[in-house]
Structure 1
């Protein structure tokens, strides 16, 4: 008995150019990653503030509790936006002046080390010893200036450099041979660093708490003098105005009725006695 011939395989029967080939250069799946602009919290806060303002401005007939809730949400979003912008500015300033602060810190450390070495080597007393002690104290302030300058402000160099005609960097001020370069920088900030060094508040200065606290106090004084109304106070004031208007109209109506009654009484009384 003859054996049956097997059916040909589909894969073998198809030509090679028709067979399905996997795509080796297939794109990676995008799992909904947002761009930097969309994912940044500042933009989200700005859009929420804009939408809340539009809602409060256009919808005049909102219920009182809903309006209070939206106004509180608006105040919270504005506060968070201010904090986010402050943090962004701080991070930008840190990245911008990181290299400059690093080199100035190294230079200040070398100057401080040299001043301490000269003071230890000095065996004389009197004015020379006092001058060396003053140099050591100033060198310590220079180092703290480079370390604890406020991070949210533009850094002002202590020893600025400028390029010569050959393209080489040199000090901005002409120097005497053998003399150290003159200190420049922000003199008011240098004095503030010196004061904070004595008081032990350098970290607060670096984080910007000293100047921010002063600004906040000024804002509190201004706000305390004016005392801006909150959302709930605005609503209660409106209700009070409505109540006063209604009570005034009611008093006017009652006064009119009393006047008419008095007039009618006078007329009737006069006719009775006559």
Structure 2
């Protein structure tokens, strides 16, 4: 009697619905994430200011303007969108200013470094000259000459400190205007050569014809006024820059305060107690 044929065992892998569900969920979750590294970073991680990039801000502004151009937009939604547009435009202006400051900071870094070193040496030299002349002024011989030397050195020391603050607080969003004439290769002068203090703050240099010279003098005068008002250090060679002050903003604030004081100082019709200075 022939034996019954043996049943063939199927080696085909059985379908596991659980495994299929797991793989499906995995692929579904992976499909949403996209390619590795394509997920944008949160806004607070993009830079120190928390403002997204310029291209993204411009795209958001275009999209917001297209949305505002729609007809029959609800008044409440329109007001909300206009506020968003205003905020986006402010962020864009801030981002563009930040990019310019970063670019100029790297571009003029070496020039500012060399000029800062020159001024520090000039300040040190003037301080020594003041000490020397003060010692000579105590003697009867040559007293008047020594006192005049002290006054001249103190004037130059003040000007050198103003120029040092000029370098430390120059607006980075603007092209830097050098204090010293350009040297070959931008190298510092040799030790036996005394670098003269630039005459930018001399009384005879009150109205330079060149626009760059006029702008430099304008910023120097602003810096000098900020030092007098104690908004920035009067001895920057000791204290450093501290918190950088926006020169243009500081000037606008000072002008507004002067206007406010002038208005408060105007005499009333029936009261002549207040007088304009």
Query: Is 1:54 the counterpart of 2:66 in the alignment?
Result: yes
Q: Is the 8 A contact 1:93 1:152 kept in 2?
A: yes
**Alpha-carbon offset, residue 54 of structure 1:** 1.3
Q: Which has the higher helix share?
A: 1
TM-score by length of 2: 0.54
Over 3 Å counting, the alpha-carbon distance change for 1:205 and 1:193 in structure 2 is: farther
**Residue 222 of structure 2 contacts residue 247 of structure 2 at CA under 8 Å; is this kept in 1?**
no
8 Å Cα contact 2:104/2:175 also seen in 1: yes
Give the alignment of 1:7-156 within 5 angstroms: 30-32=36-38, 41-57=53-69, 59-122=70-133, 123-124=136-137, 125-156=146-177
Cα distance per residue 1:126-179 (max 9 Å; x no partner) = 32221122122222222222222222222111102154xxxx6699xxxxx977
Asked if 2 retains the 8 angstrom alpha-carbon contact of 1:145 and 1:193, the reply is yes
Distance 1:104 1:94, change over 3 A: same
After superposition, the Cα gap between the structure-2 partners of 1:180 and 1:212, relative to the gap in structure 1 and judged at 3 Å, is closer
Match of 2:180 among 156, 159, 168: 159
TM-superposed deviation, 1:212: 7.0
How far residue 213 of structure 1 moved from its aligned partner, in angstroms, is 7.1
Indicate whether 1:214 and 2:264 are aligned.
Answer: no
Name the SS for the 1:52 alignment partner. helix
Which SS does the other structure have where 1:161 is aligned?
A: coil
Count of paired positions: 176
Gap regions ≥5 residues in structure 2: 1-34, 41-45, 47-51, 138-145, 201-212, 233-240, 257-277
Contact 1:49–1:77 under 8 Å retained in 2? yes
Gaps of 5+ in 1: 1-28, 172-176, 219-274
Residue in 1 aligned with 2:228?
198
Alpha carbons of 1:64 and 1:213: their partners in 2 closer, same or farther (altered >3 Å)?
farther
What's the TM-score, normalizing by structure 1?
Answer: 0.55
> Aligned partners of 2:159 and 2:218: how far apart in 1?
14
SS in 2 for 1:126: helix
